[in-house]
Structure 1
């Protein structure tokens, strides 16, 4: 018999936290290692018992679930992040995936769907609440068809959207800083966007996360 899937639950709403925990504890192949109310506590607990899956609320005080994704990716690269939310906002979903989450489910889904999501991400796959994945894929395909940028410009855009400097982008893509500056100018001109914040918003709004791999 294979080892149970170790799951850490993180939500600042006690009722939600206990509700999910009590449900998951009825499944023999799932072991709840901890149920905590903040992202900071989730990081601390993960250092003690490395979870296979971290189920984390997106909207939390102090350190949000979205910001915590990057910290988990850095410190616990083997842990799979499954985001919990009341919102089916494409922006939240896109950002979560861009930061490294493996799944995104709504808090009102059935118990069966929560378990299916845990099993899917634990096995190395991805999972999105019903309808969410279709909406994202449809938008990505639509925008790829109308994408005005070259492949190289898209690569530069994604790095700039992640907050990298011209120098960092040049090092990552093995091109000169001057070439990056030229690409940046062309990208802004083609898209009609003047700021880096605007470029980041464009990447999220157009579902371009994950296209660089």
Structure 2
């Protein structure tokens, strides 16, 4: 059976998780407690096929460190178990990598059991509350008016630091026309300035972040 590793400094949480793990037949014995990224690494060296229940908001570990651990220990399944997690963090962990499940501490017993079962099979699990929340966010994004191909190109040029005059010259347009496109971009994206529009371009993948910083 897989080893349960608890990366959480709350005793009551760890006792509860251990109880569910044992009573419902997911594993035997107490879970292994760790309190730092170093201790977690050492534990995983001895248990390369473990299920790690980790409270990211209480555990002293960055997202980058988690990605490194996942690359190093590919057989490990991480369950991010917390009171609250930011949208950006959840999307980064769930959509960008395999092997990270998400539970909230107010998840039902049935969801916790379903998450453990999925983890033992190497499947991703996201609790209903987080799934609904992410889906709602996606629906809001879909309601944003789509940019035309010209607007996307102008937004990309803005993100690369080009001035209105430079964009107009490159596209054989008048400065007034480019300014009109800029206003339409701001209106459609519901932003107030070029900085906010550029942030959208980076998030939407219209501009490669490496190219932007260069």
TM range, normalised to the smaller chain?
A: 0.5 to 0.7
- Equivalent residues in 2 for 1:134-213, closer than 5 Å: 134-144=132-142, 146=144, 148=146, 184-185=156-157, 194=195, 198=199, 202=203
What is the TM-score when the length of structure 1 is the normalising length?
0.61
Bigger strand share? 1
Are 2:76 and 1:79 equivalent residues in the alignment?
A: yes
- Equivalent residues in 2 for 1:47-62, closer than 5 Å: 47-60=45-58, 62=60
Gapped regions of structure 1 (runs ≥ 5): 155-181, 204-213
What is the TM-score when the length of structure 2 is the normalising length?
0.61
Whether the aligned pair in 2 keeps the contact of 1:8 and 1:51 (CA below 8 Å) is: no
Aligned residues: 171
Over the aligned positions, Cα root-mean-square deviation in angstroms equals: 3.7
Return the offset for 1:43: 1.9
CA distance in 2, matches of 1:61, 1:45: 15
Gapped regions of structure 2 (runs ≥ 5): 161-181, 205-214
Partner residue, 1:178? none
Cα distance change, pair 102–149 in 1 and its aligned pair in 2 (3 A): farther
CA distance in 2, matches of 1:102, 1:9: 15
CA distance in 1, matches of 2:127, 2:202: 23
SS in 2 for 1:128: coil
SS in 2 for 1:108: coil
Partner residue, 1:90? 87
